[in-house]
């Protein structure tokens, strides 16, 4: 066979459009369809205690969706701590809009704030509340009562912690009380009657979470650090909007992505159950797959795992977002993380395939 004419046309094509040759080589080395098949097969072999959905989105908007058993992208899950990220962004948008400042204190907005001026906790700031370094550690029962009064319960949070003698900004303590106080500050600063009004405003402005709700333990007493219902498609859309700069401006995004616990004592961190040292930002984790954060870089991979095993994340190094959506037993967050880690090499190969 005479290959000369065929080779001639290839040479002509390359001379006309050199990028054609580069694309051809890249396509030979990387097939998105093959990457997706590999990822699907890896997920099929994952061992799990409950059904789950696994959703990804690349930098070009292409999505990958896998469902196990009865799980669907539209199914509503209890959020547990995955709501912390959402709550933080809602409040940060109010900071961006000028209703709040990071240096604001609860006493600036809550007229009957019960902590005395001489108490170190009286100096806690909004930034410290969002980064869980405010000094609050104890949670009153009212946070879990359907008929609890949201504002009255925030004051009980203050009263319950007032004698702990902790200095704000000195230690990180993973607890729900911080965001409950920050949420009431946001309600007062915005001049609305409830968190539900703030959430509806966020929904209207962004188009996100159309069927989601802050309804646990109830609509009138929502737990901002863990009381949402959402679907995996809704949460993935939230992650995508955040990644693409649609929720915060550049200046606020830079503040969001800062490591807020680099110089504090990590007094209580669930990440230690993984044998790892994670740091914290504003409503989310800076992951570090090491026993020392000195081996990691803040902002490379950020996430907000929930106690039922749901695991939303943004891999900023590979420029993609994803979520494991599941609802297992309480304190099963490691199972959700394990699902993602079992298939991460395949997800990363898919994310960078061009």
For 133, the token pair is: 């370094």
pLDDT in tens, 199-226: 999 999 999 999 999 999 999 999 999 9
Pick from 202, 182, 183, 174: nearest CA to 285: 174
What pLDDT, in 10s, does the model give residues 263-280? Answer: 999 999 999 999 999 999
pLDDT tens track for 188-199: 999 999 999 999
DSSP letter, residue 166: P
For position 29, what pLDDT does the model report?
Answer: 79
Query: Could you give the domains of the chain?
Result: 32-351 (3.40.710.10)
State the pLDDT at residue 26. 38
By C-alpha distance, which of 289, 274, 266 is closest to 333? 274
Q: What is the mean pLDDT of residues 120-129?
A: 97
Give CA–CA dist 250/226, Å, rounded: 27
pTM: 0.91
Among candidate residues 238, 237, 243, the one with its CA nearest the CA of residue 320: 243
* CA-based R_g, the chain, Å: 23
Per-residue tokens: 76 = 């509503």
User: For residue 8, what pLDDT band results from cuts at 50, 70 and 90?
Assistant: very low
What SS3 string covers 292-308? CHHHCCCCCEEECCCCC
* Residue 17 binned pLDDT confidence (cut-offs 50, 70, 90): low
140-162 pLDDT tens trace: 999 999 999 999 999 999 999 99
The pLDDT tens digits of the residues spanning 158-179 come to 999 999 999 999 999 999 999 9
Residues with Cβ within 8 Å of 97's Cβ and at least 6 positions away in sequence, in order, are: none
Q: What is the largest CA-CA distance in the chain?
A: 93
8 A C-beta contact, residue 168 and residue 120: yes
74 forms beta bridges with none
Name the 3-class secondary structure at 52. Answer: coil
What mean pLDDT is predicted for residues 235-243?
A: 98
């Amino acid at each position: 066979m005479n290959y000369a004419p065929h080779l001639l046309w290839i040479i002509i094509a390359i001379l006309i459009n050199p990028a054609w040759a580069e694309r051809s080589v890249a396509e030979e080395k990387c097939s998105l369809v093959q990457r997706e098949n590999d990822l699907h097969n890896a997920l099929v072999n994952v061992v799990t205690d409950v059904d789950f959905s696994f959703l990804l989105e690349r930098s070009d908007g292409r999505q990958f969706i896998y469902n196990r058993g009865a799980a669907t992208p539209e199914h509503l899950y209890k959020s547990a701590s995955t709501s912390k990220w959402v709550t933080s962004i809602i409040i940060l948008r109010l900071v961006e809009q000028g209703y709040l400042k990071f240096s604001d204190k609860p006493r600036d907005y809550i007229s009957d704030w019960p902590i005395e001026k001489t108490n170190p906790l009286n100096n806690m700031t909004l930034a410290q509340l969002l980064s869980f370094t405010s000094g609050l550690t104890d949670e009153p029962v009212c946070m879990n009562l359907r008929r609890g009064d949201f504002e009255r319960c925030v004051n009980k949070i203050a009263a319950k912690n007032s004698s702990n003698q902790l200095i704000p900004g000195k230690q990180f303590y993973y607890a729900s009380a911080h965001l409950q106080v920050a949420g009431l500050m946001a309600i007062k600063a915005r001049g609305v009657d409830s968190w539900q009004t703030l959430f509806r405003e966020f929904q209207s402005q962004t188009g996100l979470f159309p069927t989601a709700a802050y309804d646990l333990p109830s609509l009138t007493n929502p737990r901002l650090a863990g009381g949402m219902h959402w679907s995996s498609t809704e949460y993935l859309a939230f992650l995508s909007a955040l990644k693409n700069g649609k929720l915060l401006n550049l200046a606020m995004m830079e503040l969001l992505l800062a490591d807020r616990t680099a110089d504090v004592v990590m007094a209580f961190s669930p990440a230690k159950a993984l044998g790892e040292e994670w740091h914290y930002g504003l409503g989310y984790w800076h992951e570090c797959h090491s026993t020392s954060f000195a081996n990691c870089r803040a902002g490379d991979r950020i996430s907000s795992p929930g106690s039922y095993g749901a695991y939303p994340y943004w891999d900023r190094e590979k420029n993609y977002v994803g979520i494991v959506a599941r609802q297992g037993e309480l304190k099963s967050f490691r199972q959700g993380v394990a699902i993602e880690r079992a298939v991460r090499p395949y997800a990363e190969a898919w994310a960078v395939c061009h």
